[in-house]
Amino acid sequence: MPFRYSAVGKKLSARVGIVELMEDLGEAMSGADAGTMRMLGGGNPAAVPEAQHLWRRRLTEILSDADGCDRLLVNYDGPAGSPIFREQLASCLKQELGWDVSAKNVAITSGAQTAFFQLFSLFGGPDENGRMQKIVLPITPEYIGYADQLLNEGEFSARRPRLELIGDHQFKYHIDFDNLDLAEDVGAVCVSRPTNPSGNVISDDELTQLRVLARQRRVPLIVDNAYGQPFPGAVFTDASPPAWDDNLVMVLSLSKIGLPGLRTGIVVASEEIVDRIAAMTAVVGLANNNIGQAVAGELLASGELLQLSREVVRPFYEQKSQLAQSILAAQFADSFPYRVHASEGAFFLWLWLPELPIPTRELYERLKQRNVLVVPGEYFFYGLEDQSDWPHSRQCVRVTFSQSEQTITEGLAEMADELRRIHESR
C-alpha cells in the first residue's frame, strides 16, 4: 500500500549512497558472496590481535564482577553518558593533550555518526527567523556519512581543495583559503582530520587558520577525530591535535580502534553544546549503549588504550598503508595514468584516475562483477555549487587498506586488469 510519507521521512529513508554502501558491505561480509568478495570498500577497522585480546580481557573482567555487571545491564545511563566514563575521558584529554576540560564537556552518542546528525541538526537548517544556516565543509572530498544527514537541501556549502601534484604518482589536497570566505549564513564549519576518504591530514597551520575564521564568525569548528589522536591515533604525519578552546567541537569514536559494534561516539565541546547534545539524546533515544564506555573507560584510566594506540594501532595502519602503496605501484605500474593521495592517516588509499573514460560508479559495478568492492569517489564530493567543470570529482576511488595482504593484492590486481582493459578499449 502506498503510504503518505513526510518530506523529512522521505529524505531520511531515501536510497542514498550510504544506504547502498552499508548494504553492499553487509552483503559482502555475511551474504551469499561472503568469503569470495575482496572487500576494499567500507570503513571497518582491521582485526588487530592485540586489540581484540584487550577487549576480551575487559569483557571477562566485567562479567566476573557480578554486581557491577548487573548494575551495568539493568540501568539506563544519563543522556550525556556514564559519569565515570565522562570523567575518565576528560582526565585522559587533560593529561594527554593538556585540555582544560571536565566531565561536563563530554557527551556520549550512539557512534560518531549519530553525533554528526545531532550536531548538524543543532547548527544547520533554518533558524527561528527562517534564515538558512549552512554547514561549511572547507575542503572536499569529505566523509560520505555526512552527505545525507541534513534535513534541508543545500545546507552544505563545500569548497574545492587546492591540488598539489607530487612526483609521477602522488598528489595532496590543501585547503584553498582564497576561496573560503565564511558568509553570514554559516552555522558551523566541519572537517574530518584525518580525512575519510583521502587520507589527508590538514596541517596544524590550516587548522589554526580555520579556528580563526570560525571564531571571527562566532560559529563552532567541528573536528571529526574518528581516526585521530589520542585514539586510535591513525595519523602518520607529525600533525598535532588542536589546543582546547570552547569554540572547538571535537568528535571521537571507539569504532576505529576496534569497537564499531559497541556504537560509542564522544562529543567534547562547551558545556552549553554538551547539554544540548544530551537533551537531543534523551528525546531521540533516552540514553546510549553503556558497554563501550565500560570496556574503554578502565583502559583509558590505566593508560592501556593510549598505549595500544601508540604502540600497536598506529604502526599497524602505517605499515598497512605502505604495503598497500607498494602493491598498488607494482600492480598498476605505468599501465595507465593514476595518482594516489599522500597517505597521512585513516584507513584508505584515495586513487585518482585522471584519464578514466567511464564514471567511477560504472567502474564500481564492473569491479563488483569481479568480486572486488571499492567505493566510487563521486559520493564524497557533495555540497559543491557546480562540479560540471571539475572532472576530478568523477575520477577518484576509495580503497581500504585495513584488510589482509591477500585481499589487497588480489583486489588491486583485479582492479589493475580491469583498468587496463578499459583504457585499451577506448
Ligand X SMILES: Cc1ncc(COP(=O)(O)O)c(C=O)c1O
User: Could you tell me the smallest distance in angstroms from the CB atom of residue 106 to ligand X?
Assistant: 15
Q: Which is nearer to ligand X, 266 or 340 (CB)?
A: 266
Contact letters (x/-) for ligand X, 235-254, by CB under 6 A? ------------------x-
**What are the cell numbers at 164?**
598539489
Q: Which is nearer to ligand X, 43 or 81 (CB)?
A: 43
Strand, coil or helix: 38: strand
Please report whether residue 199 would count as binding ligand X according to CB under 6 A: no
Please report whether residue 196 would count as binding ligand X according to CB under 6 A: yes
Q: Which is nearer to ligand X, 146 or 316 (CB)?
A: 146
Burial grade of 387 (CB within 10 A; 0-12, 13-18, 19 or more): middle
Residue 117's CB: how many other CB atoms inside 10 A? 22
Q: Which of 85, 143, 171, 379 binds ligand X (CB under 6 A)?
A: 143
The distance from CA 163 to its chain's CA centroid, rounded to whole angstroms, is 21
Residue 378 near residue 393 (C-beta atoms within 8 A): yes
Residue 140 near residue 381 (C-beta atoms within 8 A): yes
Please report whether residue 138 would count as binding ligand X according to CB under 6 A: no
User: Could you tell me the smallest distance in angstroms from the CB atom of residue 115 to ligand X?
Assistant: 7
Q: Phi and psi dihedrals of 333, rounded to 5?
A: 40, -130
The DSSP code for 290 is -
Contact letters (x/-) for ligand X, 17-56, by CB under 6 A? --------------------------x-------------
Q: Which is nearer to ligand X, 155 or 224 (CB)?
A: 224
Please report whether residue 288 would count as binding ligand X according to CB under 6 A: no
User: Could you tell me the smallest distance in angstroms from the CB atom of residue 358 to ligand X?
Assistant: 26
Q: Which of 79, 111, 228, 241 binds ligand X (CB under 6 A)?
A: 111
Given the rule CB under 6 A, which of 82-90, 110-118, 269-277, 400-408 is the region that contacts ligand X? Answer: 110-118
Residue whose C-alpha cell reads 571499492 in the numeric block: 374
In angstroms, the CA 172 to CA 13 distance is 35
Please report whether residue 112 would count as binding ligand X according to CB under 6 A: yes
Given the rule CB under 6 A, which of 49-57, 95-103, 105-113, 164-172 is the region that contacts ligand X? Answer: 105-113
User: Could you tell me the smallest distance in angstroms from the CB atom of residue 202 to ligand X?
Assistant: 13
CA-CA-CA-CA torsion sign (134, 152, 285, 252): negative
In angstroms, the CA 200 to CA 352 distance is 14
Q: Which of 280, 287, 297 is nearest to 73 (CA)?
A: 287
Q: Which of 226, 373, 374, 397 binds ligand X (CB under 6 A)?
A: 226
Residue 396 near residue 141 (C-beta atoms within 8 A): yes
**Residue type at 334 in one-letter notation:** D
**For binding to ligand X (CB under 6 A), which residues are involved?**
43, 111-113, 143, 145, 192, 196, 224, 226, 253, 255, 260, 265
